[in-house]
Amino acid sequence: MSPRSASVNEELRRRSRERLLQAAVELVSERGYEATTLGDIADRAGSARGLVSYYFPGKRQLLQSAVHRLMHRTLEEALEREPRTEDGRERLARAIDAILGLTRSQPVLMRQHMAGLLQAEGFVQCPEQQRLAQLLRDTVARYGSPDAATDYPMLRALLMGAVYAALVPGVPMPIPTLRAELFKRYHLDWEMGVPPDTEVPGGTCATDLSRFFATGHRSGDRRDGPERQLDQSHQSNRPDQSDGQSK
């Protein structure tokens, strides 16, 4: 059998990483963060347990990357849904509603994500976060900001604050109230974006999140032979850290 090309190996690695991201989102959403181990995630992804540490330093970094992926793909979907628009105010309204909608539909994931940001490791500057940042920065620029580099961090902070306020146990603020404050700050009309209780064609908050992870397989499918062999090859080149990082 002839050896696989570098491009084939790279594609298999990409799929392995995608499966781990998807598995992390699914399991933490189902069980919570503490009840999910790296071993559980590897098993759900159909990957060798030692492979997780090949891509991610630990569980918290894996989850941050997974949630950032979920956020940037949800935002991208909202910005590009029909009817397409180049109106900066409408795009900003859609962006705000996308993040608030994700907070409403995935509270366990978003609460754990916010909690993770306050840990010693802090904010993970991963590729997924960078894609999310680029989308928000572009949204601010299209809104008409003369200094997107300055105004983007403020939008990010306001959105993070709204997510936090909506998810505080015992004293959560209603999402419509938070939305109203954000819309007032940016002079957006209530009818823009996706007002509360409005149904969006195609839905942006469906429970099946597999469309956001380009694994090449549907959730639960088994890997083919080459992917399994590549996982084993990666594992053999790395110390098995699954026992020490499974919690």
142 has pLDDT over 80: yes
Residue 69: pLDDT band (50, 70, 90) is very high
Q: For the chain, how big is the Rg over CA atoms in Å?
A: 19
pLDDT(59) > 60? yes
Percent of the chain at pLDDT > 90 equals 60
Least confident among 95-99, 104-108, 146-150, 195-199: 195-199
- Average pLDDT for the chain: 83
Tokens 């998807």 appear where?
22
Confidence of residue 5 (pLDDT cuts 50, 70, 90): confident
Residue 56 has a CB neighbour count (10 Å cut-off) of 24
pTM: 0.81
Tell me how many degrees the CA angle 146-148-149 measures, rounded to the nearest 5.
125
What integer pLDDT is reported at residue 246 of this predicted model?
A: 44
Q: Is residue 35 scored above 90 in pLDDT?
A: yes
158-204 residue pLDDT tens: 999 999 999 999 999 999 999 999 999 999 999 999 998 776 554 44
**CA 88 to chain CA mean position, Å:** 24
* pLDDT above 70 coverage of the chain, percent: 81
At residue 242, the pLDDT reads 39
Residue 214 — left, alpha, or beta (φ > 0 → left; ψ -120 to 50 → alpha)? beta
At 208-247, the pLDDT tens digits run 778 888 765 444 444 444 444 444 444 444 444 433 444 4
DSSP string, 28-46: HHHH-STT--HHHHHHHHT
Give the list of residues 6+ apart from residue 152 with CB closer than 8 angstroms, or none.
Answer: 133, 136, 137, 140, 145
CA-to-CA dists, residue 79 to 76, 155, 162, 163, angstroms: 5, 16, 20, 19
Alpha-carbon distances, residue 110 vs 13, 47, 188 (angstroms): 27, 25, 25
